[in-house]
């Protein structure tokens, strides 16, 4: 076994018999969001040639609803679900109905979550669209640009001493104490599962789009052979397993920062492993030390391998992507960095079927982007 790449000993091969998740309802909801449109699937011929791959694509989540990451796709469906739950009503099928439901919430209802950046910004954006108050818990020391972006949505930001996982605990504790708080977390723990599961269901739209775009680009429906997905708490990677591996046979590999590789360590150990902070990677969205409980069983059976990448490798990946016209932050480039490590360490079969890398963000931190890519 390599120091950087862990094969998952519990992987049993894709569950070809698993029922395909029904994304029709979620896709119709997303389509009803004002200004919602699919992100591009961009082919990377030079990178593919350098890695000995036949075809390589990045699903470039550069912009969703005016925000520079994929996160709002999960947050929107989860906020919709959380509002329905609070009102004890059925889940609104379209965003206009969500807005109407939000108006009947008790005065002072406040959307809350912990974040290491993008999820909180997405929840704050939705709160603004729905006219709700919003409170976002962040690890102390978060980049000022990220805090400012959340505040620009009208949310109040609560800095919490310690890493992201402590911000998660504080947001949950405050929500237990204050009935006005409506917690929309993208990670889960025992007893808090419905909303994080809705976040994962929301992410299904990304992979549904990617499969359709691949079929259009290749004029065949063979699907992806390999997908490399950045992982923080593992929620979006679990969606990749459900939408690309189950019933389709794609190998899903996670990519995380060295030092915050909770998915990789948990898979290698066969049980949940916490990686203590501080987590100081430039891959800010991936600075998580604990795997989401709802993601874990799916990751355990369905992820083929997990890779840990260094900040320098993420920087190199950002520059490689920029050279192919893809402007991405460090977390978003982790998949390309992971793919390069797989190639270096001999885990990548040459040729083969199409490879997907999930590029989870555009330029979320313009200052950092300029200094890394422009120099």
The residue ranges that bind ligand PLP (CB under 6 A) are 69, 71, 116-119, 230-237, 285-286, 331-332, 360-361
Question: Closer CB to ligand PLP, residue 80 or residue 331?
Answer: 331
In this structure, are residues 184 and 86 in contact, taking their beta carbons and an 8 Å threshold?
no
- Which residue's Cβ lies closest to ligand PLP? 285
CB of 49 to ligand PLP, least distance (A): 26
CB of 215 to ligand PLP, least distance (A): 25
Question: Closer CB to ligand PLP, residue 105 or residue 142?
Answer: 142
Long-range CB contacts (within 8 A, 24+) of 22-25? 23/201, 23/204, 23/205, 23/208, 23/243, 25/93
CB of 52 to ligand PLP, least distance (A): 26
Task: Please name the residues in contact with 315: beta carbons below 8 A apart, sequence gap of 6 or more.
Answer: 282, 330, 372
Question: Closer CB to ligand PLP, residue 55 or residue 265?
Answer: 265
**Quick one: which of 264, 184, 206, 245 has its CA closest to 9?**
264
CB of 180 to ligand PLP, least distance (A): 25
**Quick one: which of 169, 135, 171, 359 has its CA closest to 277?**
169
Question: Closer CB to ligand PLP, residue 105 or residue 255?
Answer: 255
Rg of the chain over CA atoms, in angstroms?
A: 19
In this structure, are residues 331 and 311 in contact, taking their beta carbons and an 8 Å threshold?
no
For every residue of 55-88, DSSP letters joined together read: -EEEEE---BTTBSBTHHHHHHHHHHHHHHHHHT
117 phi-psi bin (left φ>0, alpha ψ -120 to 50, beta other): left
CB of 54 to ligand PLP, least distance (A): 26
CB of 269 to ligand PLP, least distance (A): 18
Question: Closer CB to ligand PLP, residue 69 or residue 98?
Answer: 69
C-alpha span between 331 and 71 (Å, rounded) = 12
Question: Closer CB to ligand PLP, residue 117 or residue 163?
Answer: 117
């Amino acid at each position: 076994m390599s120091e950087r790449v862990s094969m998952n000993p519990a992987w049993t091969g894709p569950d070809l018999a698993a029922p395909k998740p029904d994304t029709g309802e979620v896709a119709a909801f997303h389509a009803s969001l004002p200004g919602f449109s699919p992100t591009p699937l961009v082919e990377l011929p030079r990178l593919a040639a350098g890695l000995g791959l036949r075809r390589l694509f990045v699903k470039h989540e550069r912009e969703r609803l005016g925000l520079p990451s994929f996160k709002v796709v999960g947050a929107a469906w989860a906020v919709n679900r959380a509002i329905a739950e609070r009102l004890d009503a059925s889940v609104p099928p379209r965003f206009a109905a969500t807005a109407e439901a939000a108006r009947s919430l008790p005065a002072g209802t406040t959307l809350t979550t912990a974040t290491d950046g993008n999820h909180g910004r997405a929840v704050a954006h939705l709160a603004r669209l729905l006219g709700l108050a919003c409170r976002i818990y962040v690890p102390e020391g978060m980049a000022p640009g990220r805090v400012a972006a959340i505040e620009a949505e009208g949310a109040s930001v609560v800095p919490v001493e310690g890493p992201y996982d402590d911000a998660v605990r504080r947001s949950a504790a405050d929500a237990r104490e204050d009935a006005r708080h409506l917690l929309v977390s993208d990670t889960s723990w025992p007893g808090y599962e419905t909303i994080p599961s809705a976040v994962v269901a929301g992410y299904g739209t990304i992979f549904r789009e990617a499969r359709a775009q691949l079929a259009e680009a290749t004029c065949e429906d063979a699907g992806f052979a390999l997908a490399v997905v950045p992982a923080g708490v593992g929620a979006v990677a679990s969606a990749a397993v459900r939408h690309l591996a189950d019933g389709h046979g794609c190998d899903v590999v996670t990519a995380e920062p060295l030092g915050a590789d909770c998915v990789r360590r948990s898979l290698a150990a066969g049980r949940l492993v916490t990686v203590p902070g501080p987590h100081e990677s430039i891959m800010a969205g991936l600075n998580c030390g604990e795997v989401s409980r709802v993601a874990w069983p799916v990751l355990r059976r369905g992820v083929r391998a997990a890779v840990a990448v260094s900040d320098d490798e993420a920087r190199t990946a950002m520059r490689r992507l920029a050279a192919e016209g893809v402007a991405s932050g460090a977390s978003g480039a982790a998949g390309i960095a992971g793919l390069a490590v797989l190639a270096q360490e001999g885990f990548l079969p040459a040729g083969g079927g199409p490879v997907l890398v999930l590029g989870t963000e555009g330029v979320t931190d313009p200052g950092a982007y300029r200094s890394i890519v422009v120099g």
